[in-house]
């Protein structure tokens, strides 16, 4: 597609999407005829992910590397998406960071790092995307990536869990201001998921298979399928909601440390 040419198909923007859940979201959306702007902090990872998707679905994915916690970059990211594809219809705040640490010794620098990406990044991506969608007068969909740690206490994740619970409250609150513009907004809270990162943790899959009622942790496609539904036209009457995808773990909540 030529720059500035208006797409007749939906256009999505996904942050933190070079690997794992974010990558699978981009791949699945592209497979369903949605143009995707893929963002990751790391330029080589961004380029590799875009090339991989385009081998399957040619010209459906473009990349724009940068820091999704930087509000100035977020503005550029939205503008670049519109410049490349002609519109923005779906924005998914998937980028996030986890910094483990005991509450009594948790450092302010780590606290600020978690909130800057998880909360500030998500808030201002939604704001910038909403302004574009309102200007287009065609509605749209926003989605925050939350976590089961926003629902159930998890050892050494006080700041992270707080940030994820806050995103779910933000999704509810924005219903008041965005519904008149036909923009729906929801959150998804994944549980344990096998990704490139978690697969390297010793005993991760075994532990979470043992304590998850469905007998196994999720895979990225399990999360991506739910995302694809919530940002689809079929889900436009669903807004302000949070969907937990955890194989039943939050129903019983056994600790992985026991």
Which pTM value belongs to this model? Answer: 0.94
Catalytic residue of the set 164, 172, 216, 257:
164
Pairing relation of β-strands 61-63 and 90-93? Answer: unpaired
Mean pLDDT of the chain: 95
For the question of residue 172 being annotated catalytic, the response is no
Catalytic residue of the set 23, 35, 60, 160:
160
For the question of residue 164 being annotated catalytic, the response is yes
Enumerate domains of the chain plus CATH numbers.
11-248 (3.40.50.720)
pLDDT at 192 over 90: no
Average pLDDT of the residues in 196-215? 87
pLDDT at 15 over 70: yes
pLDDT in tens, 151-168: 999 999 999 999 999 999
Q: 24-38, 99-113, 165-179, 190-204: lowest mean pLDDT where? A: 190-204
In percent, the amount of the chain with pLDDT more than 90 equals: 87
């Amino acid at each position: 597609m030529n720059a500035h040419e208006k797409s007749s198909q939906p256009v999505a923007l996904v942050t933190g999407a070079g690997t794992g859940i974010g990558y699978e979201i981009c791949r699945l959306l592209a497979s369903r005829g949605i143009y995707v702007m893929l963002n990751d902090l790391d330029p080589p990872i961004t380029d590799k992910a875009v090339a991989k998707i385009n081998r399957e679905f040619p010209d459906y994915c473009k990349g724009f590397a940068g820091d999704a916690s930087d509000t100035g970059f977020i503005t550029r990211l939205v503008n670049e998406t519109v410049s490349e594809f002609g519109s923005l219809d779906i924005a998914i705040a998937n980028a996030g960071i986890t910094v483990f640490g005991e509450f009594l010794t948790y450092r302010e620098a780590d606290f600020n790092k978690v909130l800057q990406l998880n909360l500030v990044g998500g808030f201002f991506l939604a704001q910038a995307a909403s302004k574009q969608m309102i200007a287009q007068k065609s509605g749209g969909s926003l989605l925050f990536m939350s976590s089961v740690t926003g629902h159930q206490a998890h050892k050494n994740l006080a700041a992270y869990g707080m940030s994820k619970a806050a995103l779910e409250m933000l999704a509810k609150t924005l219903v008041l201001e965005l519904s008149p513009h036909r923009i729906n907004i929801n959150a998804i809270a994944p549980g344990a998921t096998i990704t490139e990162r978690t697969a390297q943790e010793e005993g991760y899959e075994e532990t979470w298979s043992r304590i998850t009622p469905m007998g196994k942790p999720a895979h990225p496609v399990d999360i991506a399928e739910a995302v694809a539904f919530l940002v689809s036209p079929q889900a436009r009457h669903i807004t302000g909601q949070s969907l937990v995808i955890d194989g039943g773990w939050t129903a019983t909540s056994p600790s992985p440390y026991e």
